[in-house]
Structure 1
Amino acid sequence: MTHAVVDAPTLEHHREAIGIGENAPRMSWIVSRAPHGWRQLRAELELELDGRRRTRTVDGAGSVLVDWPFEPLRSRESATVRVRVWGADGEASPWSPPARVEAGLFEPTDWQAVAIGPAWDEDPESQRRPALLRSEFHLDSPAVSARLYVTAHGLYQAEINGVRVGDDELGPGWTSYGHRIRYYTYDVTDLVREGPNALGAHLADGWFRGRLGFGGGHVNVYGETTALVAQLEVTHADASRTVIATGPEWQAAPSPAQWSGLLEGETYDARDEIPGWSEAGFTGVDWTPVAKRDFDFDRIVAPSGPPVRCTQEIAPLGARRTDDGRVILDFGQNLVGRIRLTVVGHAGETIQVRHAEVVDRTGELCTRPLRGATSTDRYVLRGGVSETWEPRFTIHGFRYAEITGWGDRPVDGGIIARVMHTDMRRTGWFACSDPMLSRLHENVVWSMRGNFVDLPTDCPQRDERLGWTGDIQVFAPTASFLYDCSGVLTSWLRDVAAEQLPDGTVPWYVPTIPGGDQWTPPRPGAGWGDAATLVPWTMFQHFGDVEVLRRQWPSARAWTDLEHRLAGDDHVWDAGYQLGDWLDPTAPPDDPANGLTDPHLVATAYYAHSSAVLAATAAELGRAESDELAERAVQARNGFRGRYRTGPGRLTSDSQAAYAIAIMFGLFDPEEEPAAGQRLAELVREADVHLTTGFLGTPVLLDALTRTGHRDLAVELLWQRSVPSWLYPVTMGATTIWERWDSMLPDGEVNPGEMTSFNHYALGAVADWMHRAIAGIAPAGPGWRGIRFRPGVESGLDSAEAAHETPYGRASIAWSVTGSALEVEVRVPVGAAAVLEHPAGGTEDLPSGLHRRSWRTDARC
């Protein structure tokens, strides 16, 4: 090979750059093949728009989120872009394949649509039944292209001429509706035709007015009526455009779905189906005029990431029939999604599906942990022919399902679980020679999948499912390795900023909904509110996106300013309610904040940490106040040390969490760290090599042991199999990460605590350490511009491997020990610089390419 090869460029963080909301989208490209050690010196970018081509040259090695060098796009404009690059040899690569980019609707005035909904919604006593909305239109000539732009107060699913539009689910998703509401763009060119056509949509409550949250939940959080906004734009061969939009001429009818709620489930009567309702020429007699709805088009935004989709189908592994005729299914995996039924039966037969994450010791569904989420779907057959159905506007968290009314029908082929989550691109993998550790990592992956349903949630099954700030704050490094979650987090952080209170308080969860006296109105909470500062910094480190720092700066600054005020002159945050090291294993089931560690020690530590990260952010952005903020960080650190340090390497809270947090936040002087690490190691051994940490202490525990010279103890702690430990749930058959270390007790009983989820990613933050310390791959510069490799032979494993799709391409490491030989294979992507740490000491700089090394090792260090 004599030249470089460039993949098609990408735009911003989009996998599908149609209907994007950026008029000057940044471009990224990957040099997928190049001579050994090749580096980019310059690139040429080409834009083809309206039949004209223009090029711009960009000097330097930059290939990640490079500023758009052309004129800004206008609404609806469609173009293609491609790239070629030069290296030091002066030879140009071939042009990359083209990437298509299409602008969405940038201005409120681009919308001709009127928001509409079923008139019966306006009666507060009416049943909250989903609706069908429809209209017909005529095209005088064929379509060259057609785009459908849709959003809703509630959830929608569109159809054109009897065919479903798109394959996304739960659109337009959940945002802070009072500030931002997404719309989606669909290419429907193949669905419209010359002559008569019909456009229709299903419309249901969803997050907008459906039941949300704990304590029985709340309805009508954002409004009392549902609404649809749809605009179909058809372009013809003569460049003329026909626009069909929602308006007063549309009609509505009740959906065959009698009821649909995200927490409750869906009831659907197929006998009420209306054949042909979304086709031209339909003549239904019971349709009623729609009502106009208020809708603020200034709030409408394009998505920054992919939608929710079905990403996998899973057949049940086992089925048990009960004496009373029920069928209890085990899908072998705790997942998030819903069940699809295929059945033949008589009209009026009802099949009911109940969901649960676990079964009790008698084999019955254990639904107590679901609290107020009934999670029950019902399907009433129309009869006579094979029928296939799945709920449209609900999802459940479950491994087990109880089917009532199935009779003696075979399960195989008739029942399937469909896995649903935001359709992020997988970017990280890990495996090792220990099956239990590999299963633990797989559990982390599944918990991320189940809790990234349009936003990062705490749990997907019970009456909560909220975007808890503290959970994603600790999990963001792991999430950013496993999946390209940049689009999800970019959107969610915008809502964090939008819902932040004027004094800087960040809500416990975003979007905010009523949550009782404990959670509303929001109060400042350390570790949770710090997501405003720490999640953007994590995204910068993993995705190389400095713009996220710039955009979130006001939010991060407001939060840390609030911490600074609350800490007062002595720089100690010692007042107010705190969650502390939430759910440490010593905390009582009914009081998860009452653990071993002083919550105000944790709060002050986070104040110091966020202050330091904000100062680093200011420096990265070149802000004038960076020196001032660096001094504030020093004051915050001194405040912590003055109050909570009792001597060299000792703290007032003599707990694992206290030492781990203080070590990893740099709150000990370098000469004190060995003593602090020694005390942390002693506490771990005093607990018989068990952890005693919760949500905030756990993610830093193994790193703190490793940093202070106790790597072997960190490995031993990870391998612990009795409760509390990471592997205890694996020994109990877990397929996701649990909220509590003992969500299920050793005797098979479910923990009696109210907060007992079996799918909760926070404690799965350990996977970040596994990637770095066991496999041995870590970012060493923003966006993986630098990479550190260090094979984790101290783990005692025979082999381990990890790979990550960095913004520059795939980086990977695989190592194995056979006898006294250590074999290592490392891949460095083009554009990144890497360092390989040798087992016996010393380092080696590695250029791009594949590298193999072999060492003798008579002992595993």
Structure 2
Amino acid sequence: MRSTIITLGLLLACKICSAQLTVTNLLTEGQKNPISIDNPNPRFSWQLVTADNKNISQSAYEIEVDTPDVVHGRLGKFWSGGKVLTAQSLYIPYKGKTLQSGGSYSWKVRVWDSKGKQSTWSEAASWKMGLLVPADWKAKWIGPYAPDVVNGPASLLRTSFSINSEVREATAYITSHGFYEAQINGAKVGDAYLTPGWTSYNKRLQYQAYDVKQLLKQGDNAIGVTLGSGWYRSPLGPVVPRPNFYGTSLGLLLQIKIVYADGTEKLIVSDESWKSSTGALRFAEIYDGCTLDTRLDQKGWATAGFNDHDWQNVKVLPGNNSNLVATVNEPVRQHETFKPIKIITTPKGEKIIDFGQNLVGWVRLTIKGHAGDSIKIAHAEVLDKPGNFYTENLRAAKAQNIYILNDNEKHTFEPQFTWQGFRYIKVQGIKGDLNPDDFTAVSLYSDMKVTGSFSCSNPLLNQLQHNIQWGQRGNFLDVPTDCPQRDERLGWTGDAQVFSRTASFNMNVHNFFTKWLKDVAADQYQSGSIPYIIPDIFKTGNNEVGGSSGWGDVATIVPWTVYTTYGDKQVLENQYQSMKAWVDFITKQTRNNLWVSGNHFGDWLFYSVNDDRDGVSAITNKYLIAQCFYARSTQILINSAKLLNKKADEQFYSRLLQKIKGAFLSEYVTPNGLISSDTQTAYVLALEFDMLPANLRQQAADRLVKNIKQYNYHLTTGFLGTPYLCDVLGKFNHADVAYKLLLQDTYPSWLYPIKAGATTIWERWDGIRTDGSFEEASMNSYNHYAYGAIGDWMYQNIAGIQAAEPGYKKIIIKPVIGGGLTWAEAGYDSVYGHINSKWKIEGNKLDMAVTIPPNTVADIFVPDALGKTYKKFTVNSGEYHYSR
């Protein structure tokens, strides 16, 4: 009997334990345990969890902040916010006493659920403040004393120092003019690449912070830093690349704060005591690649025992640290690796390796040869029709890495301060057959967390999702680039604008876009015009190179996307003046409320043919497009003003919006609803941006369908029309047509490139034509994410996951059945937790499984197997199963 009682007691205890409300995933400024925060009032976020997550919502929270008590070797309470009655669990600002530059802090939180049940205290999270004011930098800007030129060898800078006490913590703060890579005692500092990242350097220069305690040792230590040209002064831009855009000299700013066990501190700084030289890296440039000559390697140069007697003294450079900012976005890191799937000898006799995936990064080579051997690796995305190595679409970019051997030993090489976009490599300089084991392709991109997944019963759509994701990986490399392979790789604003919603599902782009949007504002012209690219390297003197509709609207659309996806109102506060300046710029260009001036890219790369005698090219009036985006940006500005309690702006721009729409109707729409540019893009933008009165909307949608049928169910849209095409069709009861377009596999369509073997999204619908020839080499990227914007429709409609409130605080799950699909599933890691939607049809029955995260609510619409009717269920968090 006693045993039975004990057993029941244990079961009851386990049940209570399993139902315990806990708090997890603590983030400070959207980062896990960051060590360089420059927001004087950091914001805290967390998630709730129980064993089953059933009906969990928060009613209150309490936060405590501690700081180390060095004297007594424990944490001391620094601030307690008390119990706060709210369901808010995101972006809670610190409200205690002033935080110290470089200070270390920890925090924990407990919550109460809707029934008043209290959680335990969470495990502690930590953060460190960055260097908050320029005077916190005791280091000096230094550079090599020897002649320093763009195409010359990389510079090596070093110094030595000693440690004679136990180290409690050590933090390195580093930035540079040019790329840098630091070592302490011969070991790489951190795992980031292409630091300090790309910003509008003269206005905002990021520094990185690293925990380097484990790299230090008692006794003698050394620091070594390699500097390369990077974005700072590499030739940038297509056609005629411009070198030295931000400056002509490489520079280093480095400061290490060491805190000993007894609380005393020591600073190691860059100053005139450092020395400089050059080594194996003879050339490193973004477009052309690098040359490593190991015969010139200075072995051990970053270790304490190295003799630098023959090295030159560095020179101290002028520097103004007022533009230094802490890094908030994820660094570029190495990710997936690929081994060769095929070794090819081309008709020209070239040795080619196929890695099976178009990716961005480089090839890691392990080789044993002879002293003086020169190994050259060139890169390409495709082979031409006969099967030869094709690089014409790289334009002037050489995209090749050269390794010169010093001895007959086996060595492993990776390039430095460069990267390539490729699927294939051409190898020269290796005698005999190539060994696939010697080659590894390494992907490189900003280390954003993967948040979204999608799959379904159609393998081609699964490949499309794969291509969308790999297009994002390859082009989200510190800035959202247009292409990763040719002599461009720039932050084109239009591309980022159209893809931002899809991007925010697949990866956590919160910090990525927050950082980049600050450069949008920094490089915005005084007129309010937005440059074509960010950072802006097109500008010369007072010449403004920007102002295109759909491109400049990145200033409003992307901040709004970030807000709706992550619920972070601070992004709108940060960007509001930039958003307003963009709308005001447009307004100043208008005549009678019509935007009919300026240079516009229009519906870039829309479907067209050379001979337009039969009217088959889908040309949409650029000013019609401009008017639609003018209205869209104004509407977003109104929404933002309302949210930020800027009532005067809300009223002013609401009146302006009515004038914009009225002018559109008068200029471009006939009384019976015919839009003057009778194209898919014209109808799509007019409907998506609400440019038409209610009585004309359905007939406009029907005209859109008529146009699609005219092209035998093919799309004709370009960059600006494509993202919204299927969305508009679905909103106006033509989901069947949306599915037909999505599943079309002949040119032009989303699936045509897949049938042609694409593993990323192409820049053009026909990058490879139906006869196997290529589009014009001057602009034909095979890794260009813009047309991948269709992903947003797939996730919101096929899987049915939609945000009804910012941050997915309220969720809608409403799958659209069609396209012959028998099942589909998508998952998304929202700021509140994991959302999942899965449905499957067997016979006449549909089964559906849904996961809703804690502290949210959802409306779940369950369709029948034909997708004709829905049943609605309103639920709190938990897992739900339905059958119809």
Output the TM-score relative to the length of structure 2: 0.94
Deviations 1:642-665 (A, max 9, x none): 111113332010000000000000
Distance of 2:736 and 2:484 partners within structure 1:
35
Q: Which range moves more in the overlay, 573-582 or 733-742?
A: 573-582
User: Equivalent residue for 1:621?
Assistant: 644
Give the one of 623, 626, 634 matched to 1:611: 634
Kindly report which structure 2 residues correspond to 1:165-314, keeping only aligned pairs within 5 A, or say none. Answer: 165-314=189-338
User: Equivalent residue for 1:17?
Assistant: 34
Secondary structure of residue in 1 paired with 2:365: strand
Give the one of 470, 489, 509 matched to 1:485: 509
User: Equivalent residue for 1:665?
Assistant: 689
Q: Which amino acid aligns with 2:345?
A: R
Shift of the 297–360 alpha-carbon distance from structure 1 to 2, 3 Å rule, reads same
Q: Which range moves more in the overlay, 10-19 or 732-741?
A: 10-19
Q: Once the 2 structures are TM-superposed, how far is the Cα of residue 128 of structure 1 from its aligned partner?
A: 2.0
Distance of 1:244 and 1:830 partners within structure 2:
47
User: Equivalent residue for 2:80?
Assistant: 55
Distance of 2:238 and 2:200 partners within structure 1:
18
Q: Which amino acid aligns with 2:200?
A: S
Distance of 1:144 and 1:397 partners within structure 2:
42
Secondary structure of residue in 1 paired with 2:239: coil
The number of residues matched between the two structures is: 847
Give the one of 126, 135, 139 matched to 1:109: 135
Is 1:854 the counterpart of 2:867? The answer is: no
Secondary structure of residue in 1 paired with 2:481: coil
Secondary structure of residue in 2 paired with 1:700: helix
Distance of 1:610 and 1:6 partners within structure 2:
38
User: Equivalent residue for 1:93?
Assistant: 119
Shift of the 720–608 alpha-carbon distance from structure 1 to 2, 3 Å rule, reads same
Distance of 2:705 and 2:654 partners within structure 1:
31
Kindly report which structure 2 residues correspond to 1:324-473, keeping only aligned pairs within 5 A, or say none. Answer: 326-408=350-432, 410-473=434-497
Is 1:561 the counterpart of 2:581? The answer is: no
Shift of the 626–323 alpha-carbon distance from structure 1 to 2, 3 Å rule, reads closer
Distance of 2:19 and 2:601 partners within structure 1:
59
Shift of the 647–210 alpha-carbon distance from structure 1 to 2, 3 Å rule, reads same
Q: Which range moves more in the overlay, 223-232 or 676-685?
A: 223-232
Q: Which amino acid aligns with 2:132?
A: F
Is 1:544 the counterpart of 2:567? The answer is: yes
Is 1:44 the counterpart of 2:70? The answer is: no
Q: Once the 2 structures are TM-superposed, how far is the Cα of residue 140 of structure 1 from its aligned partner?
A: 2.7
Q: Once the 2 structures are TM-superposed, how far is the Cα of residue 18 of structure 1 from its aligned partner?
A: 1.3
Distance of 2:333 and 2:555 partners within structure 1:
28
Q: Which amino acid aligns with 2:876?
A: P
Deviations 1:740-784 (A, max 9, x none): 000111122211252111111111000000001111111111111
Q: Once the 2 structures are TM-superposed, how far is the Cα of residue 323 of structure 1 from its aligned partner?
A: 8.1
Distance of 1:506 and 1:595 partners within structure 2:
27
Q: Which amino acid aligns with 2:89?
A: S
Aligned-pair RMSD on alpha carbons?
Answer: 1.7
Q: Once the 2 structures are TM-superposed, how far is the Cα of residue 565 of structure 1 from its aligned partner?
A: 1.6
Q: Once the 2 structures are TM-superposed, how far is the Cα of residue 107 of structure 1 from its aligned partner?
A: 1.1
User: Equivalent residue for 2:45?
Assistant: 28
Q: Once the 2 structures are TM-superposed, how far is the Cα of residue 690 of structure 1 from its aligned partner?
A: 0.5
User: Equivalent residue for 2:833?
Assistant: 809
Deviations 1:585-630 (A, max 9, x none): 21669xxxx9610000000111111111110110011112211111
Kindly report which structure 2 residues correspond to 1:739-758, keeping only aligned pairs within 5 A, or say none. Answer: 739-752=763-776, 754-758=778-782
Q: Once the 2 structures are TM-superposed, how far is the Cα of residue 429 of structure 1 from its aligned partner?
A: 0.6
User: Equivalent residue for 1:139?
Assistant: 163
User: Equivalent residue for 1:501?
Assistant: 525
User: Equivalent residue for 2:13?
Assistant: none
Distance of 2:816 and 2:447 partners within structure 1:
32
Q: Once the 2 structures are TM-superposed, how far is the Cα of residue 16 of structure 1 from its aligned partner?
A: 4.7
Q: Which range moves more in the overlay, 253-262 or 674-683?
A: 253-262
Deviations 1:436-463 (A, max 9, x none): 0010011000000011000111111111
Preserved CA contact (<8 Å) 1:699 1:763: yes
User: Equivalent residue for 2:608?
Assistant: 586
Preserved CA contact (<8 Å) 2:347 2:386: no
Distance of 1:520 and 1:709 partners within structure 2:
47
Preserved CA contact (<8 Å) 2:53 2:853: no
Secondary structure of residue in 2 paired with 1:31: strand
User: Equivalent residue for 1:8?
Assistant: 25
Distance of 1:852 and 1:817 partners within structure 2:
14
Secondary structure of residue in 2 paired with 1:705: helix
Distance of 1:142 and 1:587 partners within structure 2:
73
Preserved CA contact (<8 Å) 2:275 2:308: no
Preserved CA contact (<8 Å) 1:326 1:405: no
* % identity of equivalent residues: 38
Deviations 1:680-738 (A, max 9, x none): 00000000100110000000111111111111011001000001000000000000001
Distance of 1:71 and 1:455 partners within structure 2:
35
Secondary structure of residue in 2 paired with 1:647: coil
Secondary structure of residue in 2 paired with 1:464: coil
Deviations 1:218-264 (A, max 9, x none): 10000011111111111112211111111111111112111000101
Distance of 1:588 and 1:552 partners within structure 2:
42
Secondary structure of residue in 1 paired with 2:62: strand
Shift of the 567–842 alpha-carbon distance from structure 1 to 2, 3 Å rule, reads farther
Secondary structure of residue in 2 paired with 1:29: strand
Secondary structure of residue in 2 paired with 1:694: coil
Preserved CA contact (<8 Å) 1:430 1:801: yes
Deviations 1:512-568 (A, max 9, x none): 113799x96313111111111111011100010101001100000000011112123
Preserved CA contact (<8 Å) 1:355 1:398: yes
Distance of 2:642 and 2:475 partners within structure 1:
33
User: Equivalent residue for 2:535?
Assistant: 511
Distance of 1:809 and 1:108 partners within structure 2:
38
Distance of 1:530 and 1:266 partners within structure 2:
37
User: Equivalent residue for 1:841?
Assistant: 870
Distance of 2:350 and 2:294 partners within structure 1:
22
Preserved CA contact (<8 Å) 1:121 1:226: no
Distance of 1:339 and 1:152 partners within structure 2:
26
Is 1:685 the counterpart of 2:709? The answer is: yes
Q: Which range moves more in the overlay, 678-687 or 751-760?
A: 751-760
User: Equivalent residue for 2:96?
Assistant: 70
Secondary structure of residue in 2 paired with 1:810: strand
Q: Which amino acid aligns with 2:63?
A: L
Q: Once the 2 structures are TM-superposed, how far is the Cα of residue 842 of structure 1 from its aligned partner?
A: 4.1
User: Equivalent residue for 1:527?
Assistant: 550
Preserved CA contact (<8 Å) 1:431 1:802: yes
User: Equivalent residue for 1:858?
Assistant: none
Deviations 1:43-82 (A, max 9, x none): 1112121221243222210011122233342111111112
Q: Which amino acid aligns with 1:29?
A: W
Preserved CA contact (<8 Å) 2:176 2:253: yes
Distance of 1:639 and 1:15 partners within structure 2:
49
Shift of the 746–15 alpha-carbon distance from structure 1 to 2, 3 Å rule, reads farther
User: Equivalent residue for 2:343?
Assistant: 319
Secondary structure of residue in 1 paired with 2:533: coil
Q: Once the 2 structures are TM-superposed, how far is the Cα of residue 486 of structure 1 from its aligned partner?
A: 1.0
Shift of the 516–113 alpha-carbon distance from structure 1 to 2, 3 Å rule, reads closer
Is 1:776 the counterpart of 2:800? The answer is: yes
User: Equivalent residue for 1:474?
Assistant: 498
User: Equivalent residue for 1:859?
Assistant: none
**Unaligned stretches of 5+ residues in structure 2:** 1-17, 69-74, 612-616, 864-868
Secondary structure of residue in 2 paired with 1:399: strand
Q: Once the 2 structures are TM-superposed, how far is the Cα of residue 20 of structure 1 from its aligned partner?
A: 2.1
User: Equivalent residue for 2:72?
Assistant: none
Preserved CA contact (<8 Å) 2:743 2:819: no
